[in-house]
Each structure stands twice: as structure tokens, then as C-alpha cells.
């Protein structure tokens, strides 16, 4: 932080000391800025970062140097992305001069720390697959999406990021949100398992936690430092996945612990609203069955459990008999060799999205137009399978809004590692969702 010396005596020293004390006490921060030399060019500590920038065309003066004005004028590639992935970069100092950038991709480098504080126009930050220990996003008031997977980061302060919609953090154990809310996660006993952290604000501000037992261990329970509501969104037994409504939390730190044991834990079989629909289903007409299903909260979450999928399949069988609807999966043979109806593809819930005596078909086919992955994306591959999935009624009408969720199962091809399988989906546009 620069200090202005009023004179060469004691007063000038006191002014500097006082300013430093104020910054320390008040918690004020300033971005760590790369220096500018006498020629007006930014001094980048990392030559690989500078070379990547010149390769992107930031050096509009073509003199092998980058000025603050050139950096500020750069807004990204044709898709609006600032991409410096896979560039062997260890220091991103100087990035703070790129004030016009809204999306920054610096995945798969060797960054141990990253400071983007004060970049008020930054909306999306991808820094996956780096040996990061610290990340500073203070002052990033426009940040919407943050990806910090496969890093060493365990603590994250996003209290300034009041617009935040998404965090993919995996191993985060301490996250500070705005308003004084803070989540601290713990595993008991130590080494008994791992926790994966996520946050999404598209349908409410929801924190998600997934517990994964270590080899020879079993998940037992969740405990909290205060009485807060844990949402068992998928109703899976054991309840490895929970969600927490951020806005329902008190404005102070909350600790959540995943408890594991070396002995199997006995869980009671869950009873859900699907059991109520199945109860005396023989005496219900088709409309009554459909109305009961539509009234179930988070039916899509329940269907993550194969037991509940089987229950919905039994309900669907009764519904088809009462409504006269026919439901089929249709696969265009040109789609892919792995997509074969009645062998590798199945679906539950189709019939509930038609009208009595109609036919409902779930159609797999090659896409009319392949969407483009963002330039520099880590998902570029020669092994991608592009598929259009449409729900068609009476061979003509496409359904875009479902009455009841559909559970679709596609067999993973032989030789594919499920841990490396990524599904990207989009809705009549090239904007992918992961």
C-alpha cells in the first residue's frame, strides 16, 4: 500500500504507520498488483503467463509487451472467455489489469495461490486442477460461478460475492458466505471418509454435501453444532447426500459432521409419498393417480434412489392400464451403437406426460446441429456422443414441460471408466450445463 510522506521527519513515518494500522484493523484489502516499468509496460513475474497473453493477441502494439491499457481493453475470445489453461503458469500476477474480463479460465496450471481480488466485472472463474492453497476473491462483487475442483483449497471466503450462484469446490471444509453465515464441515473419526461440497442458487441458495466412506468404513449419520434443517434430497439409504438452505442458517458459523463407523449401520427402509400413491392403487382412477404424483415435492430427487424408481414403474403400469396411454422408447439407429431400446436404454415416467388414449415416445436421435464447446474447454474430446432427446406425443407434438419427471437409464459402454464420464446437457442452445 503506498504511503505519502508529508516530510522527512517523524510525522511522515507516523502517517505511514497509522495507515498500515488502519488497513490491518479494518480488514481493508488491495489487490496485489504487478508493477509497471518506466516504459509503461506490465512486469509479469511469470514468463509463461506473459507468453500466453501474447498468444491471445493482447499485445495489440505487437512489441512483445503489454500495457495496462492493452490489458484493460481485452475482453476475451470470440465467446467472451479469457482462457490460459494448460500453460504451465505458476503466478497469475498481472491478471488484475484485465478489468474488462468477465470469464477467466486458468485450469490445469501449477498455481499455488491466486488473487483476483477487486476484479469487479469478473462473473465466472475456473481454476480447477491446480495445486492451489489459497484463493482471494474479495471485492469480486459480480462473481456468479466459481470452480475450484481438484485443488488443495479447503477454506474459502466468498462473503463479498453477493451474487454468487454456483460453487464447485469438492474438498472445501470452511466457506464464509455473506451476512456472517459460515459452514464448517468435519469428518468423524478422522480418515473415516471424505466430504464433497457444492453450492447452487438457481432454485434457492442450497449447499450440498456428499459423504463418501473410506475403504472398510460405513456412513452412520450427520450431526450439527446447532439445530438446523438437513434436507435429504434424494432419500437414499444411507443418506449420503444432504442439502442445506443457506438463507435459513443463523448468521454465525455452523459445524456439520459426517460420522462414520467400522461397523455397518442399520437403517430403516424409507417410506415416501410414492408409497401413498401405491396404497390401494387398484381403486384409484388415472386422474387421481396423476394428481397425487404431481403433488409430490422433489419427485426428481426421490427418483435418484433405484427403489423409488421401481415404485414409480409399478405406478406407471397401473396408470397405463387405466388411461389407455402407450409409452415407448424410440432410438434412431444412427444415434450411436450404445443406444439400443430395451437393451441399453430404458425410461420410467413417460406415460404420465401424455393424455388419455395418446401415445408418448421418448426419442433418441443424432442432433440436428451440434453445439460448440467453449474454446479451451477441458471437455474437448474425440469420444463425445451427441444425442438429442425429445418427448413426442402422437408422433407429432414435442413436450417441453413435464407433468412428472422421467428417469432415463443408459448403460455405460464397456471399457469406459464411470469416474471419467461427463454429461453435458443443453436446451436448444449452445449453452452447456454440467
Residues 30-53 pLDDT 10s: 445 688 888 888 999 999 999 999
Bigger pLDDT: 335 or 279? 279
Confidence of residue 12 (pLDDT cuts 50, 70, 90): very low
Calculate mean pLDDT across residues 79-94: 93
Matching residue, cell 451474487: 163
* Percent of the chain residues topping a pLDDT of 90: 43
- Please answer whether residues 379 and 358 qualify as being in contact, where contact means their C-beta atoms are separated by less than 8 angstroms: no
pLDDT at 341 over 80: no
pLDDT at 135 over 90: yes
pLDDT at 102 over 90: yes
* Percent of the chain residues topping a pLDDT of 70: 79
Least confident of 134-138, 149-153, 424-428: 424-428
> CA-CA distance, 381 to 378, in Å (whole number)?
8
206-233 per-position pLDDT tens digit: 898 989 999 999 998 899 998 888 887 5
pLDDT at 3 over 50: no
For residue 90, count CB atoms less than 10 angstroms from its CB and return exposed for 0-12, middle for 13-18, buried for 19 or more.
middle
Domain definitions of the chain by residue range: 1-30, 31-261, 320-420
Return the closest-CA partner of residue 294 out of 404, 220, 421, 391. Answer: 404
Instruction: Report the predicted TM-score, pTM, of the whole model to 2 decimal places.
Output: 0.63
Cell of 206: 442450497
Bigger pLDDT: 372 or 262? 262
pLDDT at 236: 60
Report phi then psi at 241, rounded to 5: -115, 130
Calculate mean pLDDT across residues 297-323: 83
- CA distances in angstroms from 360 to 312, 324, 363, 368, listed in the order given: 17, 11, 10, 21
> CA-CA distance, 418 to 434, in Å (whole number)?
15
pLDDT at 190: 92
Average of per-residue pLDDT values in the chain: 81
pLDDT at 110: 96
pLDDT at 14 over 60: no
16-25 per-position pLDDT tens digit: 333 333 333 3
pLDDT at 373 over 70: no
pLDDT at 18: 33
Q: In sequence order, what are the residues at sequence separation of 6 or more whose Cβ sits closer than 8 angstroms to the Cβ of residue 196? A: 170, 171, 209, 210, 212
pLDDT at 6 over 70: no
Calculate mean pLDDT across residues 374-388: 62
pLDDT at 269: 57
pLDDT at 154: 92
Calculate mean pLDDT across residues 85-90: 95
Strand partners, 211: 195
257-290 per-position pLDDT tens digit: 999 999 887 765 566 788 889 988 999 999 999 9
The CATH code belonging to domain 31-261 is 3.80.10
Amino acid at each position: 500500500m503506498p504511503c505519502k510522506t508529508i516530510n522527512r521527519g517523524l510525522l511522515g513515518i507516523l502517517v505511514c504507520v497509522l495507515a498500515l494500522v488502519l488497513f490491518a484493523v479494518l480488514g481493508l484489502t488491495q489487490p496485489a498488483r504487478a508493477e509497471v516499468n518506466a516504459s509503461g509496460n506490465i512486469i509479469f513475474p511469470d514468463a509463461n503467463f506473459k507468453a500466453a497473453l501474447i498468444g491471445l493477441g493482447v499485445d495489440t502494439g505487437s512489441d512483445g509487451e503489454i500495457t495496462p491499457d492493452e490489458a484493460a481493453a481485452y475482453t476475451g475470445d470470440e465467446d467472451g472467455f479469457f482462457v490460459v489453461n494448460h500453460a504451465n503458469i505458476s503466478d497469475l500476477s498481472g491478471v488484475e489489469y484485465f478489468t474488462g474480463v468477465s470469464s477467466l479460465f486458468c485450469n490445469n496450471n501449477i498455481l499455488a495461490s491466486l488473487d483476483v481480488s477487486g476484479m469487479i466485472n469478473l462473473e465466472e472463474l475456473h481454476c480447477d486442477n491446480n495445486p492451489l492453497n489459497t484463493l482471494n476473491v474479495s471485492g469480486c462483487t459480480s462473481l456468479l460461478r466459481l470452480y475450484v475442483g481438484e485443488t488443495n483449497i479447503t477454506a474459502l471466503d466468498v462473503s463479498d460475492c453477493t451474487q454468487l450462484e454456483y460453487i464447485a469446490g469438492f474438498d472445501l471444509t470452511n466457506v464464509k458466505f455473506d451476512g456472517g453465515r459460515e459452514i464448517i464441515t468435519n469428518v468423524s473419526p478422522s480418515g473415516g471418509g471424505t466430504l464433497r461440497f457444492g453450492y447452487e442458487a438457481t432454485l434457492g441458495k442450497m449447499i450440498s454435501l456428499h459423504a463418501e466412506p473410506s475403504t472398510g468404513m460405513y456412513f452412520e449419520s450427520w450431526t450439527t453444532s446447532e439445530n438446523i434443517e438437513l434436507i435429504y434430497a434424494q432419500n437414499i439409504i444411507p443418506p449420503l447426500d444432504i442439502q442445506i438452505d443457506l438463507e435459513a442458517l443463523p448468521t454465525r458459523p455452523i459445524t456439520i459432521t459426517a460420522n462414520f463407523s467400522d461397523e455397518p449401520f442399520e437403517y430403516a427402509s424409507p417410506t415416501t409419498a410414492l408409497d401413498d400413491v401405491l396404497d390401494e392403487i387398484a381403486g384409484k382412477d388415472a386422474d387421481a393417480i396423476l394428481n397425487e404424483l404431481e403433488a409430490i415435492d422433489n419427485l426428481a430427487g426421490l427418483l435418484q434412489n433405484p427403489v423409488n424408481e421401481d415404485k414409480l414403474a409399478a405406478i406407471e403400469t397401473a396408470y397405463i392400464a387405466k388411461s389407455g396411454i402407450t409409452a415407448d422408447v424410440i432410438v434412431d439407429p444412427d444415434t450411436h451403437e450404445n443406444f439400443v431400446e430395451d437393451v441399453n436404454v430404458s425410461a420410467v415416467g413417460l406415460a404420465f406426460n401424455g393424455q388419455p388414449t395418446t401415445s408418448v415416445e421418448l426419442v433418441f436421435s443424432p442432433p440436428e446441429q451440434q453445439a460448440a464447446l467453449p474454446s479451451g474447454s477441458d471437455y474437448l474430446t474425440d469420444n463425445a456422443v451427441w444425442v438429442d432427446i425429445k418427448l413426442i406425443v402422437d408422433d407429432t407434438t414435442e413436450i417441453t414441460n413435464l407433468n412428472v419427471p422421467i428417469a432415463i437409464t443408459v448403460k455405460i459402454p464397456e471399457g469406459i471408466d464411470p469416474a471419467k464420464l461427463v454429461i453435458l446437457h443443453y436446451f436448444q442452445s449452445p449453452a452447456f450445463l454440467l
